[in-house]
Amino acid sequence: MIKNIQPPIAKVIPTVLEKFGDIRTDNYFWLKEREDPEVIEYLNKENEYYEAMTAHTKDFQKDLFEEMKARIKEDDESVPYLYNGYYYITRFEKGKDYPIYSRKKTSLDAPEEIMFDCNELAIGHKYFQLSGLSISNDNQLAAYAVDTIGRRIYTLHVKNLTTGEILIDKVESTTGNSTWANDNKTMFYTNQDPKTLRSDKVLKHVLGTATETDELVYFEEDDTFDVAVGKEKSRKYILISSSSTLTTEFRTLLADKPDGKFKVFQKRVRGLEYSISYYGGYFYIVTNKDKATNFKLMKTTEKFTNRKYWEEVIMHREDVLLEDIDIFKDFLVVSERSNGLNRIRIMPWNGDMEYFLPFESETYTAYTTANVDFDTDILRYGYQSMATPSSLIDFNMKTKEKEVKKEQEVLGGSFDKNNYIEERVWATAKDGTKIPMSMVYHKDMQKTGDNPLLLYAYGSYGHSMDAYFSTTRLSLLDRGFIYVIAHIRGGEDLGRPWYEGGKLAKKKNTFTDFIDCSKYVIEHKYTSAKHLYAEGGSAGGLLMGAIINMAPQLYNGIIAQVPFVDVVTTMLDDSIPLTTGEYDEWGNPNVKKYYKYMKSYSPYDNLKEKKYPNIYVSTGLHDSQVQYWEPAKWVAKMRTLKKDDTVLYLDINMDAGHGGASGRFEALKELAKEFSFLLDLEKITN
């Protein structure tokens, strides 16, 4: 790494921020002016600095890119699934970045109908995303949404799949979410607040009418809630969901009667969460009603949907999280989580003996997927582990026979799953809680303490971080890296209490769990502080910001992707997308106790004069979830405080948002930057 190039120093313009008599001075508040040429100039200087400092790795980045790309089957396609008389397929062609969406009528031997070739649609755009594909009941029309900026602001279109005509019915600035009524001419869709981007409206559009006259069906007044609209599996009902972090509310409408009025299923009660599925005259409800922390299954008739009529089907269990259900004509399939591992439970409606699908590994992920057909005995599920490529499997729930429909191919000829060892270990947190970790490494690894190790975690929103296979990760494993996922509190890996133990006023458990996992892999000679690296994105980027303030000495390098690091200022600004809906996750800083607690861990507010690890930070100028100025301010401030010669990079994609580049191979180039950062540091360390 080149040491004599000077990093850009952001101009200091103090902004005084006051709350509850507490004064914070933000020297870089001005960086939030996205349209200010001086801001763009500074961001470009950060990019120029990053490019200059890493110029010596450019050839290596290209090699890594080609290496990772070579493992991917470029002319790949999804396993077809049957829906309403058509088999639907998503495929890629060699050398092309974007998917092609197609279908075949009745039989897989039928001619292919290409619905959308995103490679053609993406021409002329630096970013392209097609989303929200919804097919009308008569199979003739497709609603679809397009984002060409990366800010998740979509334009909704309608295409006649028979003639290929794009209809005049076009709606600007939507969320991309839509669904059809059964009359094949009425479409319900969601719109968002133009400033906060909160999904807050459901509108009804009738084909051929002016979109300006679309009827507002529902407006969500509570700014902590988001709305969505869709059709449940039987296609009998259209559902509007209103949800916040802790509370849900549904409205139902018969899909045959689009001009009717939506009926509240069960009005919102703070803390009551539920989701609904329909089958045979009953709604089945996954809910936390009656303090069912890990959720239970209940049912009620179509006529009486108030919670007082709900009847228990599967009771609440303290040690098993009920995650979801799939309903078939003859079977109820329940997705559960026990001791941090997925379970799929098959329950015949006729009362025959229930059973679980058998899984053996301790570092696997299993999940039901694309089960849109109601009248079938076939359950489609996915399976993978950290050393086992993903498979899609069709399982006959009557005969118990299974057919592997597709196993992920790892091209190049050198991959052998037997070359890798998977392990599940448990670190002890400072409060005595056992924290599971899933790890994978090459079989030749020796516990000398000299192995490079990348520790990854997320730890927020109850999002479970399951063990999964990655072809790109092989580029690290085959170079001696150990890869570890820490299943820290804040996720839902060990049930709902695991999530509740890492949010609000217990958020610091997320950070200390990760630090204790870091200490475990060092103490047990998997690695050492000289060779330990950490990675997290978005809320996981907050985690990265917190741990380098709390225990920077444990890490040689940090990768912080689109990091949420200016917690207090962001959560006090209710004009920023997502903020008000986050109060149940982080707390409302307009309440003094939450303000003080947030400030005590907010990475930006807790930077000090000290030594920091080597850090690579990535962000996107158009990010709608974590605004670019958070990492920009964080890096600018850290530059003035760090007392060492470690590197600090800010890499800004000026054409993308929260998810980074849109093309599948462009995303590999971003990954090659991260891997070259790690491997270059290892080269220097050794």
Look at phi and psi of residue 275 and say left if phi exceeds 0, alpha if psi is from -120 to 50, else beta. beta
- The CA dihedral of 12, 610, 40, 174, to the nearest 10 degrees, is -110
175: Cβ–Cβ under 8 A, 6 or more apart, which residues? 132, 145, 152, 154, 189, 190, 191, 192, 199, 228
Q: Furthest-apart CA pair in the chain: how many Å? A: 75
Residues in the chain: 686
Q: Which entry of 493, 623, 651, 680 is annotated as an active-site residue? A: 623
CB atoms within 10 A of CB 318: 9
Q: Which entry of 658, 662, 676, 680 is annotated as an active-site residue? A: 658
Q: Which entry of 277, 335, 538, 676 is annotated as an active-site residue? A: 538
Kindly report the backbone phi and psi dihedral angles of residue 329, in degrees, each rounded to the nearest multiple of 5, phi listed first. -60, -40
Helices first, then strands: H and E counts in the chain:
12, 37
Residue 277 catalytic? no
Render 198-263 in DSSP notation, one character per residue: -EEEEEEEETTS-GGG-EEEEE---TT-EEEEEE-TTSSEEEEEEE-SS-EEEEEEETT-TTS--E
Distances (CA, A) of 324 to 276, 337, 397, 585: 10, 10, 18, 22
Cα separation of 373 and 556, whole Å? 50
Residue 375 catalytic? no
Residue 614 CA neighbour count, 13 Å, CB half: 22
Look at phi and psi of residue 660 and say left if phi exceeds 0, alpha if psi is from -120 to 50, else beta. left
Cα separation of 156 and 134, whole Å? 11
Contact 522, 532 (CB under 8 A): yes
Residue 102 catalytic? no
Q: What ranges make up the beta strands (E) of 495-578? A: 532-537, 557-561
Q: Which residues are catalytic?
A: 538, 623, 658
